[in-house]
Structure 1
Amino acid sequence: MNFQTTIQPSGHQFSIADNETILEAALKNGYTLPYSCRDGVCGVCKGKVLQGEVDHGHGSALTEAEKKAGMALFCCAKPQSDLIIECQEVNAVRDIQVKTMPCRVHSMEKPAEDVMVLKLKLPANERLQFLAGQYIDILLKDQKPRSFSLANAPHTDEFLELHIRNISGGAFTHHVFEEMKERDILRFKGPLGTFFLREDSDKPIIFVASGTGFAPIKAIIEHALYIGIKRPMHFYWGARKLSDLYMLEMAKQWEAQGIQFTPVLSDALPEDHWQGRTGFVHCAVLEDYSDLSAHVVYACGAPVVVEAAHTDFTSTRGLPNDAFFSDAFTFAPKTPIAAP
């Protein structure tokens, strides 16, 4: 059975089958709604159902109070009637082609004991068009895709750069750190996601990253510097200990180009001799800014960090909900890795 869905305020309409999610059907019909994890965890795709009924599915990033208020996770919700939904569409990604392509592992470097920087080489004469901050899905045979943000800006696209943390119990990360070799072949699908710089705004920007959430922030900052954006930009990078700030010198170098940089450690080691900011990274933002109503925020990293930042920035500092852009990293459980 098919239902008709209308997006407000654009008025765009599309048909959706009862076994499709709202996000799947919208993307299939050329309408890009905000999304990231596509698994109901990050909450980026949250929107309002103004009219009609949905099956909410398995998503965990929605409270019962939000459901009663008409909210839904569009990556999980399926229609049970015709729908009118409220959502701000993302138009900048509409003309970018999503491809499934092979690539070769060109280089593997460990800037920290538990972080691997992979550089992937595309086939000869191939390039991937993408927006700084988007991600790709690594495709594994008989496995759920593994999503990783692109850490390079579009103007430096000779290689695709991924920052991969070695997660305990993670099958793919174990493969990367223990078995993968240079020149191995992988397959991926991308670019994906709606986490990218909104260039049509003139508001000051605050970037918040935890751990390898640095990767897409790095891409966005490098892109902003390359195209000459002059808006004030303040980058906060949070980690447990000093070695977790695995590209610290790079972030410091951005300061000479006008990017204010605040590193924050939550559990510095005695040998770190840390004299900088401590605590949770989003709390450093709260300490520095009493009013965020005229700012935009780009946050990436562990879901708990992104969720806390969104809640506190919007509820206590006046940040508009539509001025918070995020990408929360979620992790897949360990299962055997089959050849791509």
Structure 2
Amino acid sequence: MAFNVTLKQSGRQFQVEPDEPVLNAALRQGIGLPYGCKNGACGSCKGSVVNGEIEQGAHAASALSNDEKTRGMALFCCATAQSDLEIDIREVAGVRDVQVRKLPTRIADIEHKADDVIVLKLQLPANERLQYLAGQYLEFILKDGTRRSYSMASAPHEEGPLELHIRHMPGGAFTDHVFTQLKVRDILRFEAPLGTFFLREDSDKPIVLLASGTGFAPIKAIVEHAIHQKLERPMTLYWGAREKKDLYLMDLAEQWAKDIPNFRFVPVLSEPAANDAWTGRTGFVHRAVIDDLPDLSGYQVYACGAPVMVESAQRDFSQHHGLPENEFFADSFTSAADLANPV
């Protein structure tokens, strides 16, 4: 027997089947709820259970704390209904209008940008075009049925191949294959577009773009989309990495700062190498934001990259620097290792 789920803020309703994650049921019925990893690792789908009972599935401890559970919070990507529910979670407009599709793709180009970063170009079948929102991601569907998620770094308006930025995870079966065996013209299969990380164009607030490592990929798509749309909102990009070589497209970000009115670029290194001769900012990248903008109450923040960076930024910006919780948008780059010890 299906259960009814009511969204507290809008009053909209949908049905969820027994043993079906609440998030899956919502997306299946055209209800846009926030999500990222869909496997309990990132926390993007977190909300409150106002009425009713759920069973919370396995998840990363960092995505949902025991204290949050006692306060009625849940991760809806891995929570199943045990009764009718009323839940409090913000809805996401925009994603409902974009069709999720499964497509084959041919590798068009493989370009090494750093020792451990490849820019991968994907050619779609003839006469096919993927509609998506700048910032969304795709999932490669591997032969054994497992999936690997990567943000699209090219903006939706661009003609030509889709662009991905892939970092080598030593011992990772897929990235080992990409870095050692994948060749131009090889065929892969993917599902897209996915995720609710994209630019909210219905606001005129200044924008903070916060990236670590290859979290730059969806930020690149957002910036290029903003250029195409001739958006005039001030934007500041903070891109953090360990050493200078890890800022693998630094020249592009510097060019944006020269060409785009009201655009600033702030690179931040946590452990610059001696031969970097680095005279720029150092430390944690989200702390650089706080140093420059101690009052974030009038901003929107888009953060993407390592889970620890995203979590630290969300906590510190919201709890101590005035950022409204509903103005923080994030895509946390989780991996299988983030769920190695689920709770």
2:187 aligned to which of 153, 162, 185? 185
Offset, 1:15: 1.1
1:68 shift after superposition: 1.2
Identify the residue that residue 56 of structure 2 maps to in structure 1. 56
Q: 1:9: Cα distance to partner?
A: 1.2
Counterpart position of 2:119: 117
Structure 2 equivalent of residue 22 of structure 1: 22
Shift of 1:157: 3.8
1:300 corresponds to which residue? 304
Counterpart selection for 1:332 from 310, 330, 336: 336
Distance 1:17 1:231 in 2: 43
| Correspondence for 1:108 among 107, 110, 115 | 110
CA deviation profile, 1:295-317 (whole Å, cap 9, x unmatched): 01000000000000000000110
Between the two proteins, what is the percent identity of the paired residues? 57
SS at match of 2:311: helix
The whole-number CA distance in structure 2 between the counterparts of 1:175 and 1:183 is 15
Contact 1:48–1:87 under 8 Å retained in 2 = yes
Q: Deviations over 1:2-40 (max 9, x none)?
A: 111111211111111120011000011110100000011
AA aligned to 1:264 is V
For normalisation by structure 1, the TM-score amounts to 0.97
Moved more, 90-99 or 297-306: 90-99
RMSD of the TM alignment (CA)?
A: 0.8
Is 1:14–1:26's contact at 8 Å kept on the other side of the alignment? yes
Q: Which runs of 4+ in 1 moved over 3 A?
A: none
Shift of 1:143: 3.8
CA distance in 2, matches of 1:70, 1:202: 33
How many aligned positions are there?
Answer: 333
Gaps of 5+ in 1: 334-340
| Alignment partners' CA distance in 1, 2:202 and 2:120 | 32
Per the alignment, residue 243 of structure 1 pairs with 245
Q: Which residue of 2 aligns with 1:337?
A: none
Name structure 2 gaps, 5 residues minimum.
338-343
SS in structure 1 opposite 2:95? coil
- Other-structure match for 1:200: 202
Q: Does the 8 A contact of 1:146 with 1:332 survive in 2?
A: no
One of 285, 288, 293 as aligned partner of 2:292: 288
What per-residue deviation string (whole Å, max 9, x for no partner) do you get for residues 83-108 of structure 1?
00111111201111100000000000
1:234 aligns with 2:236: yes
Counterpart of 1:214 in structure 2 is: 216
TM-score, normalised by the number of residues in structure 2: 0.96
For 1:323 and 1:264, the matched residues in 2 are separated by: 23
Counterpart among 157, 162, 165 of residue 160 in structure 1: 162
AA aligned opposite 2:33: L
Q: Distance in 2 between matches of 1:15 and 1:194?
A: 21
1:242-295 per-position Cα deviation (integer Å, ceiling 9, x unaligned): 000000000001112131000000010000000000001001011111100110
Deviation at 1:64, TM superposition (A): 1.1
Amino acid at match of 2:335: F
Aligned residue among 300, 318, 322 for 2:322? 318
